[in-house]
Amino acid sequence: MSAPLLELEKVTIQFGGLTAVCDLDMCVGERELIGLIGPNGAGKTTAFNMITGVYQPTSGSIRFCQKPTAGVKPYILSLRGISRTFQNIRLFAQMTVLDNVRTAMQGNRAQRVRDALLRGRTFREVEARVANEAMELLKIFGLDHFHDSMGKSLPYGDQRRLEIVRALAAKPKLLLLDEPAAGMNPTEKQQLMELIRFVQDKFQIAVLLVEHDMKVVMGICQRIHVLDYGRKIAEGTPAEIRANPKVIAAYLGTEEPDA
């Protein structure tokens, strides 16, 4: 087996006296769909923020494409191929749907201040290509007819989808989805599951999914890691996780022994 795309080794982060994530080991291989679950406050989003460079781990190491990410700024990690969505949707409020997607296409090195000012032929070609690619992406997700609306004016579910489109526009190798099913009804959740599977298949990328909703994670992930109070309590296939007594205890609490 080739080296994994993302490796976390004994990653720990402390905020003051609070250890939010402790000794977390985790691997995501190329084109894998991995779930990260756990009850509220288990440290899932914190783990996400360490992977994307928003927080620096107190100890332990994270490697992406075999390169350590310690001290690397989030925008560099994004250019290297880690893209994400947010738990509380963070679209660019003053931009249209199309511009939200185009903004994420910063990988074009030809695009600099000088090009923007001189507006030469290369600039126009790159801009046309960016616009085309963005429209293509929107079309795949059925959002193309909204391209001229403001991103924030879309219905909630579409905003979530647009965030995924924007993340994909950055051409990631690894896509991190932070609670994409939050606030969705069962039908929307079903559609979301299909969408994630479709994205992973179509773009041939790895997906790390943080989710609260067990059904969503169980339905699509190949392997699942379970966090509770910052520690990993279980790891395995959905079937293994479902049967794991520690996971059941973390989610439902332990049974009081009958007196």
Partner 1 sequence: MRGKEKLFLLLAVVAAVGVSMASSLFNRYYLGVAVDVGINVILAVSLNLINGHTGQFSLGHAGFMAVGGYLAAKLTLVFGPHLPPAVQPFLFAGALLVGGVSAALAGLAVGVPTLRLRGDYLAIVTLGFGEIIRVIFQTSEPFGAATGLTGIAKLTNFGWAWGLAAVTVYVVACLVNSTYGRGFIAVHDDEIAASAMGINPVRYKVTAFVVGAFFAGIAGGLYAHQKAVISPGGFDFLKSIEIVVMVILGGMGRTVGVILAAVILTILPELLRGVAEYRMIIYSLLIIGLMLTRPQGLFTFGKKRAA
Query: What strands lie across the sheet with 59-64, from one edge to the other?
Result: 18-28, 6-15, 59-64, 67-68
- Asked whether the beta carbons of 157 and 107 are under 8 A apart, the reply is no
User: Is 54 among the residues that bind partner 1 (CB under 8 A)?
Assistant: yes
Q: Which two tokens stand for residue 186?
A: 């069962």
In the complex, what is the shortest distance from the CB of residue 118 to partner 1, in angstroms, rounded to a whole number?
Answer: 9
Cα atoms found within 13 Å of the Cα of residue 113, Cβ hemisphere only: 0
Residue 117 binds partner 1 (CB under 8 A):
yes
Cβ–Cβ under 8 Å, residues 144 and 152: no
Structure tokens at 112: 């600099």
Query: Binding segment for partner 1 among 25-33, 97-105, 209-217, 220-228 (CB under 8 A)?
Result: 97-105
Part in contact with partner 1 (CB under 8 A); list of ranges 22-30, 37-45, 100-108, 238-246: 100-108
CB nearer to partner 1: give 121 or 155: 121
> Residue 238 in contact with residue 217, Cβ under 8 Å?
yes
Judged by CB under 8 A, the residue of 84, 160, 161, 232 near partner 1 is 84
The tokens describing 124, both together, are: 């126009």
The reply to whether 144 sits near partner 1 by the rule CB under 8 A is: no
Give the C-alpha separation, 76 to 163, whole Å.
19
Segment contacting partner 1 (CB under 8 A): 98-106, 184-192, 232-240, 247-255? 98-106
**For partner 1, which stretch binds (CB under 8 A), given 10-18, 82-90, 223-231, 250-258?**
82-90
Report residue 14: phi and psi, to 5°: -120, 135
Q: Residue 103 CB, nearest distance to partner 1 (Å)? A: 4
Judged by beta carbon, residue 92 or residue 141, the one nearer partner 1 is: 92
What is each CA distance from 178 to 9, 67, 118, 146, 217, in whole angstroms?
Answer: 21, 23, 40, 24, 12
Choices 20-28, 124-132, 201-209, 211-219; region in contact with partner 1 by CB under 8 A = 124-132
Amino acid at 87: Q
Residue 29's closest CA among 225, 250, 162, 207?
A: 207
Q: Is 90 a residue that touches partner 1 (CB under 8 A)?
A: yes
Residues 6-45: x where in contact with partner 1 by CB under 8 A, - otherwise, as a string: ----------------------------------------
For position 102 contacting partner 1 by CB under 8 A, the verdict is yes
- Interface with partner 1, residue 55, by CB under 8 A: no
**Nearest residue to 83 (alpha-carbon basis) of 249, 207, 254:** 207
Instruction: Say whether residue 73 binds partner 1 (CB under 8 A).
Output: yes
83 binds partner 1 (CB under 8 A): yes
Strands (E), 38-172: 59-64, 67-68, 82-84
Residues interacting with partner 1, by CB under 8 A?
52, 54, 73-75, 78-79, 83-84, 86, 90-96, 99, 102-108, 111-113, 115-117, 119, 123-124, 126-127, 130-131, 166-167, 170
